[in-house]
Amino acid sequence: KNRSKIPFVLEDFRNRTSFYPMFTMMKSVASSCVSSLLLLLLLDVVLHTSAENATYGSSQDPSSYANVDYFRPSHISFDFAVNFVESTTSGTVTHTLTALPGAVSASNGIVYFDVWDAVEVSKAEFRTAADEVEAFEEVPFEITTPNPNIGNALAVTLPSSFVQDSAESEDDFFLRFTYSSLPSTTALSWLTPEQTAGKVHPFVYSLCQMNFCRDWAPIMDSPSQKITYDSVVVAPSELVVSMSGNMTSSTKLNETHSKTTFECTEKIPSYQLALIVGDLKTASLSDRVQVLAEEPYLEAAVKEFEDLPAVLDSTEAYLTPYIWGNYSIVVMPPSFPWGGMEHINANQVSHTLLPGDKSMLSIAIHEITHSWFGNDVGCQNWDNFWINEGMNVFMERKVLQ
């Protein structure tokens, strides 16, 4: 605090022989620390320079290969089947993208996505926004692993005709992948009937936070990019399908399977993509709040969460209108290892939130207020996850008051 006193302090250390060896050692350590710090700063500059020169990754999120500084995602269309026999999902995912001005030439005509080891990609296809749906053409792709800590980089080479025609304007286009997720995926948990409360049917659920959506399907897996989506899901008819969007239809496909469609018209980060398929029953708590649970948990869940409509109303009154349509809270099977996960309209909570005295209601409130903090306003990358959780804890406690 007073630099003029520093020489006298050092002289005093020298006069105290018992302290002087320690002081000498401290100088040596400090010198080493400064040298190490300078080396780290130099390395940081080199790495950032290399990242800026690379075509994969972006300035927005170090945990994703997606080159979103060049190509901006806006919408995803899923069309897949759930296979409980093989513990897989398979189908197509179509990305709507915008090439920003100068992006095609700056990126060498390559678009990067994130995948992990449990995603098999068999085909990549391209079409421009002006083409008809039938006009998809197959394009080459390559999967590499520049950094195993964040998975694999899926590089798609755009057609030369598109590269040549693209200039300084924004150009919209589509990329469609045919893919399968393998049983080893970290994004999906496949439960046997014995792991459920009902003990009759299997169950599957996704949990993609932080960056595990890339182990379910090829995607630009970064919270810095928000997208809308629609989905077609084929699953066994005896089971209920839920996703982080509003259900738009459910029809019988054949004697054994049904087709359920979903739509999310508000933009969400990729980790909010969610799938739940199981033997679930539904009970309405209000015109927009409902509980989904297996039969053994349903009655207790209705009683435990009967105050959630009032919670939603009071949060809206303090903040802004709830933008996600319906609100669904899903009581998960007993093997679900988390307290809760704030998926939009498919809010997963543990069955341990049903003690019978509403003493665990604060966790349900925490998940419902994530509809504003995290799901609507959230972090650009995982270095700033505190924005999601810190602000949400404040809101949770405000509601409890």
| C-beta separation of 340 from 305 below 8 A | no
| C-beta separation of 293 from 280 below 8 A | yes
| CA distance to 79, 88, 122, 320, 343, per residue, from 179 (Å) | 10, 10, 6, 39, 23
CA 151 from centroid of its chain's CA atoms = 14
List the catalytic residue out of 125, 294, 304, 367: 367
Q: Strands of 84-151 (E only): list them.
A: 88-99, 110-115, 119-128, 137-138, 141-144
Contacts of 76 (CB under 8 A, 6+ apart): 93, 94, 95, 96, 219, 227, 228, 229, 230, 273
In 60-82, which positions are buried (b, 16+ CB within 10 angstroms) versus exposed (e)? ebbbbbbbbbbbbbebbbbbbbb
- DSSP label at residue 100: P
Q: Strands of 294-399 (E only): list them.
A: 327-331, 340-341, 347-349
In 303-335, which positions are buried (b, 16+ CB within 10 angstroms) versus exposed (e)? ebbeebbebbeebeeeeeebebbbbbbbbbbee
Give dist(CA 93, CA 90) in Å, integer.
10
| CA distance to 14, 15, 20, 22, 24, per residue, from 11 (Å) | 5, 6, 10, 14, 12
| CA distance to 47, 56, 165, per residue, from 145 (Å) | 17, 11, 31
Strand partners, 264: 229
Contacts of 317 (CB under 8 A, 6+ apart): none
Q: Tokens 């589509």, residue?
A: 174
> Is 367 marked active-site?
yes
Residues taking part in catalysis: 367
